[in-house]
């Protein structure tokens, strides 16, 4: 029994040594914790930001930068914002917004700026705007100080002025400045600056296009602003329009005269094309007639080539015969008397000339001779 007691019950010196080791380890752990998170905890404690050491240790495990959360909460505390755990900017809500991908510092600054400007913007609404992809701080600043948008956008590559044409055909080059203020109620889901620029351009072009003359627009440029404002510039957008100002207006070229000139040139080209078509048809018809003439000449030559053969065939058949000397003398003696007989329809017909080499008898005479 004495042996068992000696083994399981340490002596007083051993107890003191063990206690000293435990205290030393505790102090080492405490020093290590204070070295890592003590400065942030002390900063939050001195400013009344209410950041516990437990929250700092949890941030380390979640790989969150301590300085970001502590600085945001200190800013909110110093600005007089609610930082309680029930409805204010608590540490857990800041951590949740940071883990969701939001910008904690930007949100806190936006809430502070809205409070200073008298704008109703709470922490939940600011975090929703930030998570929607909008710059909530810039939106608050734009609500306080209106934003001026150039129309068209001066991005270095786009057009320097809007081009519009009046009813008389004269082009006007217009540059406008649109002053807008951010509408926080429509910031989520509202259209951006590009929509504002497009609507202003549409209104300017419509206002100039409805003018009878470009001189009317030059005399009263305010008509352009009124026409652009009448088209519902800020409908369903994240901005509310303040004013539209015409910064620059220049006279361009006469588009109507150029279009008329182009139309006249086009009509001239069409007339030339039609004349060329008619000329081509005439040339084709001329060539066709020449071909027909050549064909007729060929048929004539062919007929003339067949004439000697026909004459020879007629001689062989007895249809042609030579005059005798006696017959020729009798013909010469009775020529005055037979002048009337030659005019008879049934008389013989001379085929040759005055030399009279042959005669073609009529059918009745040939039958009598036979």
Q: How far apart are CA 200 and CA 43, in angstroms?
A: 51
Residue 324 dihedral angles phi and psi, to the nearest 5°:
-85, 165
What CATH number does the domain located at 147-258 have? 3.30.479.30
Tell me which long-range contacts 46-55 makes (C-beta under 8 A, separation of at least 24): 47/74, 47/77, 47/78, 48/77, 49/73, 49/74, 49/76, 49/77, 49/83, 50/77, 50/83, 50/91, 51/91, 52/91, 55/91, 55/92, 55/95
Q: How far apart are CA 182 and CA 139, in angstroms?
A: 6
Q: How far apart are CA 149 and CA 154, in angstroms?
A: 9
Q: Give the pLDDT score at 363.
A: 42
Q: Where in the chain is the domain with CATH 3.30.479.30?
A: 147-258
Q: Give the pLDDT score at 367.
A: 42
* Per-residue model confidence as pLDDT tens digits over 49-97: 777 777 777 787 777 787 888 888 888 888 888 777 666 778 888 888 8
* Per-residue model confidence as pLDDT tens digits over 1-42: 444 444 556 667 767 777 777 777 776 666 666 656 667 777
Q: Give the pLDDT score at 147.
A: 87
This prediction has a pTM of 0.56
E-state strands within the chain: 147-151, 162-165, 170-182, 239-254, 349-350, 359-360
3-class SS string, 53-66: HHHHHHHHHCCCCH
* Per-residue model confidence as pLDDT tens digits over 287-346: 999 999 999 999 888 888 888 888 888 888 877 665 555 554 544 444 444 444 444 444
Lowest-pLDDT range, 14-23, 103-112, 194-203, 259-268? 14-23
pLDDT(273) > 90: yes
* Per-residue model confidence as pLDDT tens digits over 107-121: 999 989 988 888 888
Residue 191 dihedral angles phi and psi, to the nearest 5°:
-70, 160
């Amino acid at each position: 029994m004495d042996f068992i007691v000696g083994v399981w019950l340490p002596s007083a010196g051993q107890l003191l040594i063990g206690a000293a080791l435990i205290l030393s380890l505790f102090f080492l752990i405490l020093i290590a914790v204070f070295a890592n998170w003590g400065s942030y905890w002390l900063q939050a404690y001195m400013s009344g930001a209410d950041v516990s050491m437990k929250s700092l240790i949890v941030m380390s495990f979640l790989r969150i930068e301590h300085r970001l959360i502590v600085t945001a909460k200190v800013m909110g505390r110093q600005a007089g914002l609610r930082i309680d755990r029930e409805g204010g900017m608590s540490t857990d809500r800041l951590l949740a917004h940071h883990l969701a991908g939001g910008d904690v510092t930007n949100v806190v600054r936006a809430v502070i700026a809205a409070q200073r400007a008298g704008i109703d913007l709470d922490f939940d609404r600011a975090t929703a705007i930030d998570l929607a992809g909008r710059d909530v701080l810039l939106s608050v600043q734009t609500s306080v100080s209106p934003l001026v948008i150039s129309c068209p956008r001066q991005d270095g590559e786009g057009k320097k002025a809007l081009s519009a044409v009046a009813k008389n055909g004269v082009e006007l080059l217009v540059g406008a400045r649109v002053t807008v203020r951010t509408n926080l109620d429509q910031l989520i889901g509202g259209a951006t600056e590009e929509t504002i620029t497009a609507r202003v351009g549409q209104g300017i072009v419509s206002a100039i296009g409805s003018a009878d003359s470009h001189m009317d627009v030059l005399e009263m440029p305010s008509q352009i602003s009124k026409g652009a404002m009448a088209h519902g510039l800020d409908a369903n957008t994240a901005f509310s329009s303040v004013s539209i100002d015409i910064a620059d207006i220049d006279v361009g070229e006469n588009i109507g005269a150029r279009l008329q000139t182009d139309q006249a040139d086009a009509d001239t080209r069409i007339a030339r094309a039609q004349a060329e078509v008619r000329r081509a048809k005439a040339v084709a018809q001329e060539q066709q007639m020449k071909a027909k003439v050549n064909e007729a000449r060929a048929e004539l030559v062919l007929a003339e080539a067949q004439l000697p053969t026909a004459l020879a065939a007629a001689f062989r058949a007895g249809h042609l015969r030579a005059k005798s000397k006696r017959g020729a003398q009798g013909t010469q003696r009775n020529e005055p008397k037979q002048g009337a007989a030659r005019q008879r329809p049934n008389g013989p017909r001379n085929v040759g000339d005055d030399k009279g080499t042959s005669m073609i008898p009529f059918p009745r005479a040939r039958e009598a001779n036979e």
